[in-house]
Chain A
Amino acid sequence: MDVFQMIATALADRYGLDASEITPDTELISIGVDSLDAAELLMALEEKIGVEIEPTKKLATIKDVVATVEAAQNESDSF
């Protein structure tokens, strides 16, 4: 599963949303995801992919979350 799909599925499960309604440009706040929710989402993704995720910028859209997760994966791969 690619990173975007993984995030969309996790959010859909948690918020009772239809995963197909979530796009890369969806703003987190528009689906009720605040900073605590985002922190919890990253924790769940960490658990899933087994690498530590430390966001370096504010997460406004799904695209930002995807970039953050991919960056963590790449950093982990480079070791």
Chain B
Amino acid sequence: MNRRVVVTGMGAVTPIGIGVRNFWSNLKDGVCGIGPITRFDASRVKSSLAGEVKNFDPLDWLEKAEVGKMDRSAQFAVAAASEAMQLSGVAGTFDPNRAAVYLGTGIGGFETNEANCFKLFDKGPRRVSPFFVPMMIANMPAGLLAIRYDFRGAALPAVTACASGSNAIGEAVRAIRHGYADVALTGGTEAPIVEVGVAGFNSMKALSTAEDPNAASLPFDARRAGFVIAEGAAVLVLEEYERAKNRGAKIYGEIVGYGSTCDAYHMTAPRPDADGAARAVSEALREAGWQAGESVYVNAHGTGTHLNDVAETRALKIAFGEEEARRLAISSTKSATGHMLGAAGAAEAIVCLKALAENVAPPTLNLLEPDPECDLDYIPSTKREAKFDLAISNSFGFGGHNACLAFRRIGG
């Protein structure tokens, strides 16, 4: 069984706006969502900047009693899912037993974890919340969405670090494509801006320690010195194409390819030869029926770490061939949002769908000093209008996880 899978709903909670409309218009306009850390007192850690979600009030989506029982990452997931479900109009049209949830998160309830460790140290084990475990575990956002929308098929997290969002979507696509589900809620969520998190990434030398928000997240720029940690969520409603068409749903695009590989090389460093990433891209392109000469938008993983951006450039050259790789329109929207870890791939899937729908690719902000080792077209500074045939989104995670999703418009 090989069924087509389309997107009929989208929702986003990001550092540059809550709601897909705000997210996308700010992205096109070059708004940067990076600013000083306010989630905790950052005076003890090396990094002072993050991509925080501004003005998020969980009471806009949740009852008061629910708020205290959900980690911030789960609250984001509910907000994004709520928008996606509303947009899709899918509620009430499906058999709950044929509805699945695949929701990625790189870490899980990081704030909950840290807060309860502090309680343990300060006040002892009797003060560790009975909600500590359920709020912390990484599968809970998927479980909560299943409860909320009565999706009774598979409900699984993808926990592949920064590839989680893309892996979740890819696995949901496979579930529908091969007949295990008709409808899926899928995407990713993350709320990692906590002191222990920033301290840990700092100790890895993974984060930028820049103090200027416009010179911190610098994908493909020679000045890049690490990523900027960010938070958010993005959720898609996926449906089998015929059912979506028959119920008259608005279709935002088709997911036509998915590649999933592992470097099998190192805990955190990408393979220098980029073989794993290149195979993920190649697999997605093969499923998508890519042909040389097509106009392609690439939403790069583009974290702004030295190793990623060089390896990703290499992977694109291997997968597309040197000549076609030079024709690609590539951007890293992490230049605007920072790196939402397990939510990144899901938010970037929305970027790909919007780029295809509106014939415009958002820019890589603040790309002023090209790196000779990153020598492709990364759409510096301002958006570009072009009619794309295909869009792909790369996501690579610690653990060596590589995921690539491919998207097309419905009806050419």
Does A18 touch B at the CB level, under 8 Å? no
Q: Using Cβ atoms and an 8 Å threshold, which residues of chain A touch B261?
A: none
Which of B60-68, B357-365, B376-384 is the interface stretch? Answer: B60-68
Does B94 touch A at the CB level, under 8 Å? no
Asked if B65 contacts A14 (CB within 8 A), the reply is yes
Does A52 touch B at the CB level, under 8 Å? yes
Asked if A36 contacts B126 (CB within 8 A), the reply is no
Q: Select A16's contact among B64, B129, B131, B134, beta carbons within 8 Å.
A: B64
Does A43 touch B at the CB level, under 8 Å? yes
Does B127 touch A at the CB level, under 8 Å? yes
Asked if B65 contacts A15 (CB within 8 A), the reply is yes
Asked if A47 contacts B134 (CB within 8 A), the reply is no
Range for the number of chain B residues in contact with chain A? 10 to 19
Main secondary structure on chain B at its contact with chain A?
loop
Q: Smallest CB–CB gap between B124 and chain A, Å? A: 11
Q: Select B126's contact among A14, A15, A43, beta carbons within 8 Å.
A: A43
Of residues 11 through 58 on chain A, the ones whose CB sits less than 8 Å from some CB of chain B are 14-16, 32, 36-37, 39-40, 43, 46-47, 52
Q: Smallest CB–CB gap between A61 and chain B, Å? A: 18
Rounded to whole angstroms, the CA-CA distance of A12 and B184 in the bound complex is 37
Range for the number of chain A residues in contact with chain B? 10 to 19
Asked if B129 contacts A40 (CB within 8 A), the reply is yes
Asked if A36 contacts B130 (CB within 8 A), the reply is yes
In the complex where A46-B126, A52-B126 touch, is A36 in contact with B64 (Cβ < 8 A)? no
Asked if B65 contacts A16 (CB within 8 A), the reply is yes
Asked if A39 contacts B126 (CB within 8 A), the reply is no
Q: Using Cβ atoms and an 8 Å threshold, which residues of chain A touch B63?
A: 16
- Which residue on B lies nearest to A13, using beta carbons? B64
22 A-B pairs (CB sep. < 8 Å)? A14-B64, A14-B65, A14-B68, A15-B64, A16-B63, A16-B64, A16-B65, A32-B65, A36-B69, A36-B130, A36-B131, A36-B134, A37-B69, A39-B130, A40-B129, A40-B130, A43-B126, A43-B127, A43-B129, A43-B130, A46-B126, A47-B127
Q: What would 8 more interface pairs be, CB under 8 Å, given A14-B68, A40-B129?
A: A16-B64, A32-B65, A36-B134, A40-B131, A43-B126, A43-B127, A43-B130, A47-B127
Interface residues, chain A, with chain B CB atoms under 8 Å away? 14-16, 32, 36-37, 39-40, 43, 46-47, 52
